[in-house]
């Protein structure tokens, strides 16, 4: 039985006493294949999976009694063995530009963030995969929060369920607001491999959200062994968090680069994209521009040279300052100059506009609240405090 099937929700009896016999399987996070296997394992026909997937993911129904095309006996059995339980929304924040952020409570005193960004007909949901992140990229607010744990598949797909429900998408003939999903929220998706690929399978399944494989994107900072096997499990789009044109600079910004350097990462990414059944797909290269760190023309020329054999499009992201970082936002001049060099070199190069500033939902600002098991957040706060204290001591 899979991890997800084993991650059972413990319900409490009337007296509030936990009973192992009352543990239930949370069907929300079971991939189509795993749900089918589960029905077979309880002596039911595999087609029940399709029926239940539609009730849960297309109609937003979590109460088995409302699943009217299922016999009363099976509904009773489902009540005994299973549940449909999404994580709890603590707060929903709506920006003046239409961006919507959800603060989602994760057991253990944690909060993760999910952000919906509307753009014309397109509505992109940025989904978190872990509580915090263990990789500590130097420009990332999530990394500074430390790490607690991986999210379960139910907690990942639950973010899509919650967002779609908030827009009425999970109603018959309701408006379709969430058209795209990017695994770019808190966490490194490839370090939570099984739960992320199961969730992406649900996003793309026609009995669930039916989002096209060209509209679901996994973004990685470069966990090469996991990327090497990704193609066996999904055909979603791929984004690489690159942020530097050479290993020396990337080692500083994205420390996992010391283990899996740029050449190794680009080779693996290219194998993934070339292994997809449909041709002409490109890897998205994400490059966060930081003032006087990686924003000079020579960096742009070096990047153009680095990527010349790789099918890519480039997305430039102006760094969004946050309290635990000394980096500054790139100037508009440097940003335009960087883009012009890449366009002149023949690359499709877009600039990600900052959205949801008034609700701290911009790229790189997702911090949630992490019950940090690494003590990294404490170290950063202490460093910051020392820097603040320093001038005071000098005056004394
Ligand atoms: S950029 Fe991504 S991989 Fe790096 S610390 Fe932030 S969440 Fe983790």
Q: Shortest CA distance to 115 belongs to which of 369, 371, 328, 355?
A: 355
State whether 333 and 280 are in the same domain. Answer: yes
pLDDT at 389 over 80: no
Q: How far apart are CA 75 and CA 202, in angstroms?
A: 22
Q: What residue owns the CA closest to ligand 1's atom 3?
A: 188
Let me know if residue 396 belongs to a domain: no
Residue-wise pLDDT for 8-60, tens only, equals 444 433 333 444 456 899 999 999 999 999 999 999 999 999 999 999 999 99
**CA gap 32, 10 in Å, rounded:** 23
Q: Is 389 among the domain residues?
A: no
One domain, residues 105 and 66: no
What is residue 171's predicted lDDT score, i.e. its pLDDT? 61
The last residue of a domain, from among 83, 115, 138: 83
Q: What mean pLDDT comes out for the span 259-263?
A: 98
Of the candidates 372, 370, 376, the one whose C-alpha atom is nearest the C-alpha of residue 105 is 370
* 227: enclosing H helix or E strand: helix 224-230
Kindly state whether residues 12 and 134 are assigned to the same domain. no
In a domain, 66, yes or no: yes
Specify the number of domains making up the chain: 2
Phi, psi of 217 (to 5 degrees): -125, 130
Same domain, 226 and 368: yes
Q: Which residue has the higher pLDDT, 15 or 87?
A: 87
- Is 113 considered catalytic here? yes
Range of the domain at 144: 88-380
By C-alpha distance, which of 95, 56, 88 is closest to 365?
A: 95
Instruction: Please tell me the distance from the alpha carbon of residue 366 to that of residue 360, in angstroms, as a whole number.
Output: 7
pLDDT for position 22: 62
Q: Does residue 76 sit in the same domain as residue 104?
A: no
Does residue 282 share a domain with residue 153? Answer: yes
23 CA → ligand 1 middle, Å: 34
Residue 219 alpha carbon, nearest atom of ligand 1 = 2
Q: Which of 53, 83, 113 is the last residue of a domain?
A: 83
Average pLDDT over residues 323-348: 95
Residue 142 beta carbon below 6 angstroms from any ligand 1 atom? yes
Verify that 97 and 7 share a domain, yes or no.
no
Ligand 1 contacts CB of residue 370 (under 6 A): no
Give the pTM. 0.89
Bridge-based pairing state of the strands 147-150 and 130-132: antiparallel
Sequence length of the chain is 396
Q: Which atom of ligand 1 is nearest to the CA of 186?
A: 7
- Percent of the chain beyond pLDDT 70? 87
DSSP string of 34-80, one letter each residue: HHHHHHHHTT--TTHHHHHHIIIIIT----GGG-TTS-HHHHHHHHH
Is residue 394 included in any domain, yes or no? no
Please tell me the distance from the alpha carbon of residue 28 to that of residue 334, in angstroms, as a whole number: 46
Q: Which of 112, 130, 134, 142 to mutate to test the pocket of ligand 1 (most atoms within 8 A of CB)?
A: 142
Q: What is the pLDDT of residues 47-65, one digit of tens each?
A: 999 999 999 999 999 999 9
**Is 392 part of any domain?**
no
Q: Is 187 annotated as a binding residue?
A: yes
Structural contact between residues 242 and 257, judged by C-beta atoms closer than 8 angstroms = no
Q: Is 136 in the pocket of ligand 1 (CB under 6 A)?
A: yes
Residues 98 and 20 grouped into a single domain: no
State the pLDDT at residue 195: 98
pLDDT at residue 322, as a whole number: 86
Tell whether 386 is covered by a domain.
no
Higher-pLDDT residue of 384 and 254 is 254
Has residue 163 been placed in a domain? yes
CATH number at residue 66: 1.10.150.530
* Same domain (yes/no): 9, 95: no
pLDDT at 384: 58
Q: What is d(CA 322, CA 366) in angstroms, rounded to the nearest whole number? A: 10
CA 218 to centroid of chain Cα atoms:
7
Q: Residue 157: inside a domain, yes or no?
A: yes
Residue 167 has pLDDT above 90, yes or no: no
252 and 368 in a single domain? The answer is yes
Q: Note whether 51 and 103 are same-domain residues.
A: no
Which of 129, 140, 362, 376 most suits a substitution to test ligand 1, by most atoms within 8 Å of the C-beta?
Answer: 140
Distance CA 103, CA 115 (A): 9
- Domain end point (choices 68, 83, 98): 83
Question: Do residues 303 and 259 lie in contact, with contact meaning Cβ atoms separated by under 8 Å?
Answer: no
My answer on whether 160 and 53 are in the same domain is no
Q: What is the mean pLDDT of residues 91-120?
A: 93
What span, in angstroms and rounded, lies between the C-alpha atoms of 43 and 21?
19
Place 3 in a pLDDT band, splitting at 50, 70 and 90. very low
Task: Report the alpha-carbon distance of residue 203 to residue 215 in Å, rounded.
Answer: 10
Is 363 an annotated catalytic residue? yes
Collapse the DSSP code of 355 into the 3-class scheme (helix H, G, I; strand E, B; otherwise coil) and give the result: coil
CATH number at residue 321: 3.20.20.70
Q: Which of 83, 208, 237, 363 is catalytic?
A: 363
């Amino acid at each position: 039985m899979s991890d997800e099937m084993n991650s059972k929700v413990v319900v409490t009896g009337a007296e509030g006493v936990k009973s192992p016999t009352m543990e239930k399987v949370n069907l929300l996070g079971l991939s189509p294949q795993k749900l089918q296997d589960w029905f077979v394992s309880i002596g039911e026909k595999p087609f029940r999976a399709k029926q239940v997937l539609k009730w849960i993911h297309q109609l937003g129904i979590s109460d088995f009694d409302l699943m009217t095309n299922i016999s009363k006996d099976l509904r009773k059995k489902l009540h005994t063995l299973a549940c449909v339980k999404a994580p709890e929304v603590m707060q929903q924040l709506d920006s003046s530009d239409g961006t919507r952020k959800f603060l989602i409570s994760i057991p253990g005193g944690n909060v993760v963030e999910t952000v919906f960004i509307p753009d014309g007909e397109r509505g992109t949901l940025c989904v978190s995969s872990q509580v915090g992140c263990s990789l500590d990229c130097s420009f990332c607010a999530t990394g500074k929060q430390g790490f607690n744990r991986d999210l379960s598949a139910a907690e990942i797909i639950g973010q899509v369920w919650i967002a779609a429900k908030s827009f009425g998408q999970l109603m018959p003939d309701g408006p379709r607001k969430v058209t795209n999903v990017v695994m770019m929220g808190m966490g490194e998706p490839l370090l939570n491999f099984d739960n992320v690929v199961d969730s992406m399978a649900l996003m793309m399944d026609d009995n669930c959200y039916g989002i096209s494989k060209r509209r679901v994107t996994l973004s990685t900072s470069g966990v090469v062994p996991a990327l090497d096997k990704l193609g066996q499990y999904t055909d979603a789009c791929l984004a690489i968090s690159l942020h530097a044109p050479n290993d020396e600079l990337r080692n500083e910004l994205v420390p996992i680069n010391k283990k899996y350097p740029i050449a190794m990462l680009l080779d693996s990414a290219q194998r993934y994209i070339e292994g997809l059944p449909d041709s002409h797909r490109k890897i998205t290269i994400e490059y966060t521009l930081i003032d006087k760190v990686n924003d000079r023309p020579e960096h742009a020329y070096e990047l153009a040279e680095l990527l010349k054999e790789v099918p890519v499009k480039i997305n430039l992201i102006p760094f969004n300052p946050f309290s635990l970082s000394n980096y500054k936002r790139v100037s508009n001049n440097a940003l335009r100059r960087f883009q012009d060099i890449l366009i002149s070199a023949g690359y499709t190069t877009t600039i990600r506009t900052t959205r949801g500033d008034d609700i701290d939902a911009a790229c790189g600002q997702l911090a949630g609240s992490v019950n940090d098991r690494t003590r990294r957040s404490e170290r950063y706060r202490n460093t910051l405090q020392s820097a603040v204290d320093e001038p005071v001591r000098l005056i004394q």
